[in-house]
Amino acid sequence: YFYRMNFNNIDFSISNNIARITLNRPDAGNTLNIELAKELYKATNIVATNNNIKVLILTGKGKLFCGGGDLKFLLSNEDKIKETLLEMTHYFHGAIARMTRMEAPVIIGINGTAGGGGFSLAITGDIIYSVKSAKFTVAYTNAGLSPDGSSTFFLPRIVGMKRAKELMLTNRIFSAEEALEMNLIDQVLDDQEQLDQAIEKQAEIFMKGPKKAYAGVKKLLNISFDNGLETQMDIEGIKISENAESLDGVEGLKAFSEKRKPNFNE
């Protein structure tokens, strides 16, 4: 099974239960405008509603992962900047919500520098890999703006409130190694080739894994900061019991008991 949809600003395909989105405005640093935001939303919407997809890979083409908002585009709409940004963030935020809520794990491959909205997008993945040469910066206040793209939600949850304030107020540029130390990313790879290999290896693992169990992990963690202990444990009980009676759950339990490798295919 292979599917490809033609977009102007992203490459989007589905093959062997793996969906791939590649930001494809390399000459503009993969910066965000309304058209790219709409395409990103449409692609993630397709992935989120396709039960056959077991993993989503998101990366960028060229030297940058994403340089944030397209300032030339924004300035060209200076007379209606508020309307333009509200529309753009509607689609951009919709795409991030789809990735966060979708059952399939999301692997983000940071192929180069991520700044502003690109930084926000980069840290939304379930598993995040980066090339060693990538640089990171929150960047927004340098342009007189406040952050968007979910970074005020995810960043303090990952690095703590104090560090989040420091990164957002100073806009300092930091390396992939420091991003790893702060738990913003999961692994640093030497170059593009190693990045691609790491992404494909993890995607294969997810593709052969228990989809409903992965979905359960994402759902439980997404709500964990909103609930008290007893409420969260009640939901855990419901979710593990649902997974236990699924085909993959039964197979996993049998394989574990029989000391063999499970064959998940639900």
pLDDT digits (tens, 9 = 90+) for 37-76: 999 999 999 999 999 999 999 999 999 999 999 999 999 9
pLDDT of residue 2: 83
Q: What percent of the chain has pLDDT over 70?
A: 100
In the DSSP assignment, the letter for residue 91 is H
CB 31 within 8 A of CB 116: no
Binning pLDDT at 50, 70 and 90, where does residue 266 land? Answer: confident
The per-residue pLDDT for 215 is 96
Chain-centroid distance, C-alpha 159: 17
pLDDT of 1 > 80? The answer is no
Place of tokens 């894994």: 209
Rounded to two decimals, what is the model's pTM? 0.96
Span 167-212, pLDDT tens digits = 999 999 999 999 999 999 999 999 999 999 999 999 999 999 999 9
Quick one: DSSP state of residue 122? H
Residue length of the chain: 266
Which pLDDT score is estimated for 218?
97
**Mean pLDDT, residues 5-15:** 96
